[in-house]
Amino acid sequence: MNSKPIILVSFAIWCFICTRWYVCGIKNVCGPSQATPDVIETPAIENDSSDSKLDTNSMSSAGDGKNTLLNHSKPVLQEDMNKVQMEAIADQMVIYFPYRSTRKEDNAAIDSYLSDLAKVLISSGEKVYINGHTDFVGESKVNYNFGLQRAYSLRDILVNKGVSKSQVICKSYGEKKPVATNDTPYGRYLNRRAELRVGK
């Protein structure tokens, strides 16, 4: 009797079970497949940026006239999640990145914010803490490195604007501190971020 077909069938079943366990049990991304809508409704989030040392109101639009501050009270277009955007939340500025992106793309509002931040840091001698984050897609080690690269890319921009490297503290949390669900494209977009906070 030839046991080769039994071994192949057993291997195929084992592969299916392991894949299903990894996708559903570990990554929690299984379930009914749904088409990704072009527009995603989002809840309104109250932002208190009154404690911010920088004027974020002057950064509401880029040179092309498009809004570059993330607005949670309006529907989010799928194409907007492929852009770098920012928003002020409490005492920090948050910059959101597209999937697999580690660099700040050309964005007049973010450039203006980073220039203003550099001036504040140079004149005050304070430090800026940049924490890089990712969504949960991919391996943890890769995500940690992506978060760190996001923080480093912003640090390098500030250093090029005259800020001392010792004033910029970079850290990565990878996928460990999500602020939204990883079950939706918009939630994953909110988790791919760098948080900038000025402090002592």
Residue 77 is predicted with a pLDDT of: 63
- For position 18, what pLDDT does the model report? 81
Same domain membership, residue 92 and residue 28: no
| Stretch 156-173: mean pLDDT | 94
CATH number reported for the structural domain that contains residue 45 in this entry: 3.30.1330.60
**Residue scoring higher pLDDT (176 or 78):** 176
Question: Tokens 């088409």 identify what position?
Answer: 35
How high is the pLDDT of residue 183? 87
Is residue 71 domain-shared with residue 164, that is, in the same domain?
yes
pLDDT for the residue numbered 60: 34
Residue 55 scores a pLDDT above 90:
no
Residues 29 and 44 in one domain: no
Beta strands in the chain (DSSP E): 39-40, 76-77, 85-89, 92-96, 127-133, 168-174, 193-199
d(CA 35, CA 48): 35
Q: Looking at the structure, do residues 41 and 109 belong to the same domain, yes or no?
A: yes
| One domain for residues 63 and 151 | yes
pLDDT tens-place string over residues 127-153: 999 999 988 888 889 999 989 998 998
Residue 9: domain span: 1-33
**Tally of structural domains, the chain:** 2
